[in-house]
Structure 1
Amino acid sequence: SLSADAEAGSVTHQTLVQYQATDWDFIVMRAEANGQLVFVEDSTLRIAAPDFGGSSLETYKYGDTLLEVECTLDGRGQYPAVAGKTWSASDQALVEVDGEAPTANKQGDKDSDTLGGDLSVPDVTVQHNGQVLETELQAYADAALVKSRLA
């Protein structure tokens, strides 16, 4: 049996329908919509936003603790900006928000904006076709940027 340790998301729903999704898929989808990650550690299911402020656990030095490495860097998933859009039926107007980029710790000598800019990665728009609050749309756009920065 699993115990749960979950951080609250930024949006509260009175009800949510789990339609044609396993429990695991539903948990992961809801966490992703809030910019959170899901971890299973021992017998605890932990749902939390990524902590970009931590210090490195290991330091490697080429030729000393690291003798050979083969890696690939792909910046095509590094979006410069994410906009969220939805239609407000009550106001009969388009609602738009800009995603807020997380302060991710640096991974080398290039940041996410530089990687995306060097490759001319276009800005991304996430659209929601349902009736959602602006706070939920903001969380959706922010989550897309978190996912991009972790990619």
Structure 2
Amino acid sequence: MGLLTPDPGLVFWSAITFGILVFILRRYAWKPILQAVKSREETIEYALAAAEQARVEVEDLNATKVQIMNEAKEERDKLIKDARELKKSMLDDAKTKAQQEADKIIASARLQIEREKNEAILQLKEKVAEFSVDIAGKLLEEELQTSDKQKAIIDKYLQEVNFN
């Protein structure tokens, strides 16, 4: 039980030692300790403010990133749409030009065919005329071989001619 009840002399000297220790600490160590605590507190406040500012900047950057991504997506969609429209336009132009060229070729071929047909008809008429003249000549040769027939034909044509 002696340990639980301290001796009054021990309590006195412990109190004096504690007082001297508090005086020395207050006189020499208290200001540097308070400055260190204050400096640490300011450092922590600065770090918290910097962390808050960094968080705000990250949120702003995320919002900017989302906006940039949306703009890029819109630009990509616009470029794809423009490319599709250009492709369609080019295909339509190519089809139109091809159709016009085909129509031109067909018209040219029809004109050529018509010309060749007319030329063939003309040649055929010439041949028919030649054959007709040859046949008529041969027929007249055979008919006019006798003098009686010649005289009859001359008389007939003379009667047809009107001298008035």
The TM-score range, normalised by the shorter chain, is under 0.3
TM-score (structure 2 length as normaliser): 0.13
TM-score (structure 1 length as normaliser): 0.14
More helix, by proportion = 2
More strand, by proportion = 1
Q: Considering only CA atoms, is the larger Rg found in Structure 1 or Structure 2? A: 2
